[in-house]
Amino acid sequence: MSAKGGQVRVMRVKDWTHPVRAVRREVLTATPEVDEGKPPVLFVPGFGHGAWAFTEHWLEHTASRGFPAHAMSLRGHGGSGPAPEATLRAYTHDVAQVAASLPRQAVLVGHGAGALVVTHALARYPARAGVLVAPVFGGWGTAGVALLRNPVGTLPAIFGGRLRLSRRQLFSRELPDAAARGYTGRLGRAGKRAQWQLLTHREPEPAVGNPPMLVLGSPDDRVVSAAALGRAARRYGAAPLLFPGMGHDLMLDARWREPIDAILDWLDKER
Amino acid sequence: MSTSADHDRPDFSFGDNESGSAASHPGGRSVYDRGGAVCVIGAGASGLTAIKNLKEYGFDVDCYERETGVGGAWNWRHDRSPVYASTHLISSKPFTQFPDFLMPDSWPDYPHHSQLLSYLDRYADHFDLRPHIWFGTEVVRVEPVDGHRWDVTTRSTGGYGTERTSRYAAVVVANGHNWSPKLPSYEGLDEFRGQVMHASAYKEATQLRGKRVLVVGAGNTGCDIAVEAGQQAAKCWHSSRRGYWYAPKYVFGRPTDQVNDRVLAMRLPLWLRQWLFHRTLRLTVGDLTRFGLPRPDHKVYETHPIANSQLVYYIGHGAVTPVPEIIQFRSYSVKLSDGQEIEPDLVVFATGYLPRFEFLAPEILGTNADGRPALYLNAFPRRHPTLAVAGLLQPDSGVFPLVHWQTVAIARWLRLRETAPERATSFAARIDTDAGRRFNRAKVKDSSRHWFEIGHVDYLRALQRTLDELETAP
Ligand SMILES: Cc1cc2nc3c(=O)[nH]c(=O)nc-3n(C[C@H](O)[C@H](O)[C@H](O)COP(=O)(O)OP(=O)(O)OC[C@H]3O[C@@H](n4cnc5c(N)ncnc54)[C@H](O)[C@@H]3O)c2cc1C
């Protein structure tokens, strides 16, 4: 997956003739005390989550390690403007817009279905690096796993209803119940069409600018299977970094510090 | 604003660094050998995207820019900037932005020139391009040496200081083609006592206020200036030699280029598209000959259409008077082809620009006696595989996306020549046979004004094929 290897797509008739509608976008920022010249990191939450999922822990922690940190909410999520008809293309546009608005070339970090959005955005924006956290690339396999694990919460989503992720899918037992309830209570929903596209979307186009890529997740994630995680990492020619004992929401779970430190260590090395 | 002094410069010290070392020139002059580095001339939109894409493909890049900032034509502070206070884009945002660096959603469909400059400034900072640029440095000579390498001689823009020559593996010329005024010649022009200026010297409406103005030329700039004169001047005549198609900036409430490309996407035959466009203009703009404008002597798409919603409006107010072409100047008047004689105090020639490459011997770009170079894809000259021109395009859409892909193609081509020279030969052969070919299905007029005219869809499709063909392993 690189600009040099893949076939770029020059003709973008849809983007030219039906530009994605503008919408208010929430972007939350934490700035390091001294500018060490490290690249900005942009966190992209998955479906149902907003920028808030990163402001709990990862945003400040990233800034404390010298990286300007930003978390955004896709349209229709968190504090961004409403967008019931949002599509994967609109979400991709949101990420490409926010990335280009940052003062320097950014690292894109996508979580869950936000990782899928990031892989699409990487074809529209030459990121400094791409990080996919517990990536949900969708397809019918993912839906099958989710149906088995949480039939009541998943089945309506297949028919355009709301996807309800359970506490067990998102967090380990180590996270106190009150916190877990608080987070699941904040979950919203993605656009119907975007949710459907998660099952039916096309392969993302190759990333432009040949960015280094990192995939990480947990073998105990009850949304993304270990096999799916392995497949995602192999697409970029590497093995995933694994954090056993954690749930799908690595940025909110009890041991949130380990994965973000691993990401930032990797970024420090890549520079 | 950051200046060149804020940044690390490429190291030009003698010998002891990796990428630069002194070599001696046959003429005895000392030459700084920049190894595999590529030289980019100009830091306008084309130069900036060239630097970025060459960097992305792993090249060392030095860019020389005669001005003290980036932005080229869009930087109104620059001596040679052609923009005037009221310049807005004529291509709508999705066609104008770089495909991998979107313009903000909060901007209008047709941004103002100052927004374009801030966009290019941000592009330069975002991708950290400034450390590669030598500002205030003009390229005065580019000469082939040693097979396919190039000696680039520079000096400071004011002409003071000494010249220095550096040797590069390749050169990308991105010096722009909208700065050297093309002035027509007319009998009696020297005797004319009124004020005469080229549109490049036009900056703001106060220059027109209260005057009797004759605007010559019906290109986008000519129409813009006529519209301003219509509002500010005591009188405005607008002279055009031929009839043009005036497309409004909006049809059906959408930017016209977006509607047009929807039709293009249907891949209808040219005649049908032309019929549809004629129909749409008939419905939206109406019959312009009723306003005294000449009937177009060509079909749409044969010249790039003029995007201007206001000209017809001001003609309708009687604020702009269309007149035919000029026959002759007299001391205080101008004689027109319909026998009329008018008495302007100011004549503005919006008669376009000519490309200039003073630093290159004309045969290198295959330039003919008129000054038109022969290039493949408007970029690649014959027999000089390590030289390319970026941005020499007059598209029926925005320029930036086209130059972006053009410079990606240049970067891929330079890489492929190193990594898979056997695959590179077939592309070299194509440059040879197809240099000078036009990328436009419609038959385009042959005046210098239309030399670099391309249909963006035909051109981008050709670029897509080239990019696929030049694909290199990561
Ligand atoms: C009035 C007007 C309106 C326009 N409207 C649009 C529009 O709506 N949409 C659109 O896409 N395009 C428009 N354009 C076209 C515009 O030219 C391009 O958008 C773009 O600016 C071209 O960029 P460039 O880098 O090729 O050339 P330029 O912007 O001209 O930049 C060339 C740079 O090279 C430098 N240079 C030149 N010679 C030397 C040398 N010997 N040594 C060192 N440096 C050198 C110059 O100082 C300059 O900075 C318009 C042009 C004009 C004149």
Nearest CA in chain B to A100: B101
A238 Cα–ligand 1 center, Å = 43
In tens, the pLDDT along B185-237 reads: 999 999 999 999 999 999 999 999 999 999 999 889 999 999 999 999 999 99
Q: Which residues of A touch B472 (CB under 8 A)?
A: 4-5
Question: Running DSSP on this structure, what letter comes out for residue A82?
Answer: P
DSSP per-residue string spanning B437-464: ----SSPPP-SGGGTTEE-HHHHHHHHH
Q: To which H or E segment does residue B166 belong?
A: strand B164-168
Q: Is the pLDDT of residue B436 over 60?
A: yes
Q: How far is B459 from chain A (nearest CA, A)?
A: 10
Q: Which residue of A has its CA nearest to B91?
A: A16
B384 residue type, one letter: H
How far is residue A96's CA from residue A118's CA, in Å, rounded to a whole number? Answer: 9
Contact A10 B467 (CB under 8 A): yes
Contact A115, A135 (CB under 8 A): yes
**CA-angle at A8, arms to A7 and A11, nearest 5°:** 125
Ligand 1 atom with the shortest distance to the CA of B154: 42
Q: What is the mean pLDDT of residues B388-402?
A: 95
Q: In the prediction, which pLDDT does A253 show?
A: 97
**Mean pLDDT confidence for B459-474:** 87
Average pLDDT, chain A: 91
- Its CATH class, for the domain covering B183-350, is alpha beta
- Hey, are the CB atoms on B461 and A13 less than 8 Å from each other? no
List the 448-467 stretch of B: residues with Cβ below 8 A of A.
457, 460-461, 463-464, 467
Ligand 1 binding pocket (C-beta < 6 A) is: B 41-47, 64-67, 72-74, 82-83, 87, 89-91, 96, 138-139, 174-176, 178-179, 221, 359, 391, 398-400
Q: Sketch out chain A's domains with CATH numbers.
A: 2-270 (3.40.50.1820)
* pLDDT of B8 over the 60 cut: no
Residue B38: pLDDT band with limits 50, 70, 90: very high
Cβ B104–A101 below 8 Å, yes or no? Answer: yes
Total residues found in chain B within this entry: 474
Q: Output the six-digit token pair for A165.
A: 């992720």
Is residue B70 within 8 Å of B43, Cβ to Cβ?
yes
ipTM value, please give it: 0.93
Q: Tell me how far apart the alpha carbons of residues A245 and B96 are, in angstroms, rounded to a whole number.
A: 49
Q: Using a CB–CB cutoff of 8 Å, tell me whether B420 touches chain A.
A: no
Count chain A–chain B contacts defined by CB atoms under 8 A. Answer: 94
Q: What is the mean pLDDT of chain B?
A: 89
Ligand 1 centroid – CA B288 distance (Å): 32
Q: Is B126 within 8 Å of A96 when comparing Cβ atoms?
A: no
User: DSSP character for B112?
Assistant: B
Q: For residue range A83-120, what is the model confidence (pLDDT) as tens digits? A: 989 999 999 999 999 999 999 999 999 999 999 999 99
CA pair distance A225, A236, nearest whole angstrom:
18
Inter-chain touch B127–A105, beta carbons under 8 Å: yes
Determine how many CB atoms are found less than 10 A away from the CB of residue B417: 21
Q: Rounded distance, CA A91 to CA A75, Å?
A: 7
Distance from CA of A223 to the nearest CA of B (A): 32
User: How does residue B286 score in pLDDT terms, banded at 50, 70 and 90?
Assistant: confident
Kindly indicate the confidence band of residue B24, based on its pLDDT and cuts at 50, 70 and 90. low
Residues of A in contact with B468 (CB under 8 A): 7
Nearest chain A residue (CA) to B94: A16
**pLDDT at residue number B20:** 54
- Residue B7: predicted pLDDT: 42
CA distance to partner chain B, nearest, from residue A220 (Å) = 34
Which residue of chain B comes nearest to A40, CA vs CA?
Answer: B126
Evaluate if residue B18 carries a pLDDT over 50.
no
- In chain B, where the domains are located: 30-180+354-470, 183-350
Edge-first strand order for the sheet with A129-133 is A27-30, A69-72, A41-44, A107-111, A129-133, A213-217, A241-242
- Contact indicator for A129, A212 with CB cutoff of 8 Å: yes
Contact A220, A245 (CB under 8 A): yes
Cβ of B57 within 8 Å of Cβ of A4? The answer is: yes
Query: E-strand spans in chain A?
Result: 27-30, 41-44, 69-72, 107-111, 129-133, 213-217, 241-242
Are B30-180+354-470 and B183-350 equal in CATH topology?
Answer: yes
Distance from CA of B168 to the nearest CA of A (A): 23
Domain with residues B30-180+354-470, CATH architecture: 3-Layer(bba) Sandwich (3.50)
Residues B90, B452, B179, B40, CA torsion sign: positive
The pick from B64, B109, B175, B202 for probing ligand 1's pocket by mutation, whose C-beta has the most ligand atoms within 8 angstroms, reads B175
Q: At residue B1, does pLDDT exceed 70? A: no
Q: Dihedral angle at the C-alpha atoms of A230, A231, A233, A237, nearest 10 degrees?
A: 120
Q: Spell out a b/e string for B37-75, using b for 16 or more CB atoms within 10 Å of the CB, else e.
A: bbbbbbbbbbbbbbbbbbbbbebbbbbbbbbebbbbbbb
d(CA B202, CA A203): 51
